[in-house]
A = this chain, B = another copy of it.
């Protein structure tokens, strides 16, 4: 994953250049948000999925970088004072702290647009049907029935203060983080023009992996130090945020995450040994300490 992260950073360095002139501030803020740091789980999923189908490395890296730009934009906006109001992200000051609030709004907006631009350009794939399908998948994962919808539910749950039920929390997290992880797992199959049943297997893997990953994230928030996690921790409990960890308690939540990770790995049974790395990723998702 560290190797993949370095390759993704190199791709982002090309996709978010350092232009001359006054608007360089916007590009610097985009680079601050997108380059360096982060586990690159989503980008790694794109690359590993693409490898299963013999997709060229440059194509896969552009798609991986696009998904990471989309993810970085969501973090910049989630960290804004009017949202989660966070000062620290990936061990660095958040964009509105390092720059200012207006620049953070714009850098997030520009990262979203740039993600679609990276997918839609001919360099990403010679077949325009593949590019259109990538744009469609990313737009669905990012929009009101995906990430934005999940973040809205999260804000409303925080305001209402009442406890959410397990099914509601599951839906919130499926939208907020699950849909983009699902798309990241599916993108390699789209790039490789995989048959529908394989594409669906990767999507199902991503869905379960994303759910396991989210619980692991909430477990970290409840148990790790800010130094370990590279961001403020303990904030879910402090904000009265609804998480499965809060609802089920730490041991049962951990068990649930383990079950989801096993289920994620099982979706890739048909691929045999080729998918060992992706199966190992499911284990890593729940064992990590940051």
Q: List A residues at the B interface (Cβ < 8 Å).
A: 16, 22-23, 25-27, 30, 73, 77, 80, 82-83, 100-103, 105-106, 108-110, 112-114, 116-117, 119-121, 128-129, 131-133, 135-136, 138-140, 142-144, 146-149, 151-153, 155-156, 175
Whether B114 pairs with A101 at a CB distance below 8 angstroms is no
Whether B82 pairs with A101 at a CB distance below 8 angstroms is yes
Chain B residue numbers with a CB within 8 Å of A139 are 113-114, 116-117, 120
Chain B residue numbers with a CB within 8 Å of A109 are 73, 77, 108-109, 112, 142, 148
With A26-B144, A129-B132 given, name 11 new contacts (CB 8 A). Answer: A25-B152, A80-B105, A82-B101, A106-B148, A109-B109, A113-B148, A116-B138, A117-B143, A119-B135, A128-B131, A132-B135
* Secondary structure type dominating chain A contacts: helix
Whether A23 pairs with B143 at a CB distance below 8 angstroms is no
Residue A133 contacts which of B30, B128, B147, B152 (CB distance < 8 angstroms)?
B128
Taking the closest CB of chain B, its distance from the CB of A140, in whole angstroms, is 6
Chain B residue numbers with a CB within 8 Å of A136 are 117, 120-121
Whether B152 pairs with A23 at a CB distance below 8 angstroms is yes
Residue A155 contacts which of B102, B140, B143, B147 (CB distance < 8 angstroms)?
B102
Taking the closest CB of chain B, its distance from the CB of A109, in whole angstroms, is 5
Whether B143 pairs with A110 at a CB distance below 8 angstroms is yes
Residue A117 contacts which of B82, B106, B140 (CB distance < 8 angstroms)?
B140
C-alpha spacing A70/B175, complex, angstroms: 22
Closest B-chain residue to A175, C-beta based?
B23
C-alpha spacing A143/B180, complex, angstroms: 21
Known contacts being A102-B83, A135-B135, is A148 close to B117, with CB within 8 Å? Answer: no
Whether A132 pairs with B140 at a CB distance below 8 angstroms is no
Whether A152 pairs with B103 at a CB distance below 8 angstroms is yes
- 16 A-B pairs with CB atoms under 8 Å apart are A23-B153, A23-B175, A26-B144, A30-B144, A77-B106, A80-B102, A103-B152, A109-B142, A112-B112, A113-B144, A114-B139, A117-B136, A117-B139, A120-B133, A121-B136, A128-B133
Whether A152 pairs with B117 at a CB distance below 8 angstroms is no
Chain B residue numbers with a CB within 8 Å of A143 are 110, 113-114, 117
C-alpha spacing A100/B136, complex, angstroms: 29
Chain B residue numbers with a CB within 8 Å of A135 are 116, 119-120, 131-132, 135
Residue A128 contacts which of B80, B128, B175 (CB distance < 8 angstroms)?
B128
C-alpha spacing A82/B105, complex, angstroms: 9
Taking the closest CB of chain B, its distance from the CB of A275, in whole angstroms, is 28
Closest B-chain residue to A84, C-beta based?
B102
Closest B-chain residue to A125, C-beta based?
B132
C-alpha spacing A118/B273, complex, angstroms: 39
